[in-house]
Amino acid sequence: MTARAPIRVLVIDDSAHNRRTLTQLLGSARDVEVVGEAEHGEEGLRKVLELHPDVVTVDLEMPRLGGYTFLRLLRGTAPTPVIVISSYSHQTDVFKALELGAFDFIAKPQKATPEALESLRVELLEKVRASRLALARGSRRDALQRALGTHEQPPFVVAVAASTGGPPAVQRLLEALAVEPTPCVLVCQHMPAQFTRAFAERLDRIGPFHVTEASEGDRLLPGHVYIAPGGRHMVLEERSGRLELSVPQQVPGDRYAPSADRLFASIARQLGDKALVVVLTGMGSDGAEGAKQIHQAGGEVWAESEETAVVFGMPQEVIATGVVRRVLPLGKIGPALVVRARRRRSAQE
> Active-site residue among 54, 93, 131, 190?
190
Residue 204 annotated in active site: no
- How far is residue 215's CA from residue 248's CA, in Å, rounded to a whole number? 10
Q: Which helix (H) or strand (E) holds 269?
A: helix 260-271
> Active-site residue among 224, 266, 286, 295?
286
Is 293 in a helix, a strand, or coil?
helix
- Nearest residue to 85 via CA among 132, 42, 121: 121
Residue 286 annotated in active site: yes
> Active-site residue among 86, 163, 259, 266?
163
Helices (H), 52-113: 67-77, 91-99
Residue 52 annotated in active site: no
- How far is residue 217's CA from residue 243's CA, in Å, rounded to a whole number? 9
Is 149 in a helix, a strand, or coil?
coil
- How far is residue 111's CA from residue 178's CA, in Å, rounded to a whole number? 41
- Nearest residue to 199 via CA among 280, 279, 95, 60: 95
Catalytic residues: 163, 190, 286
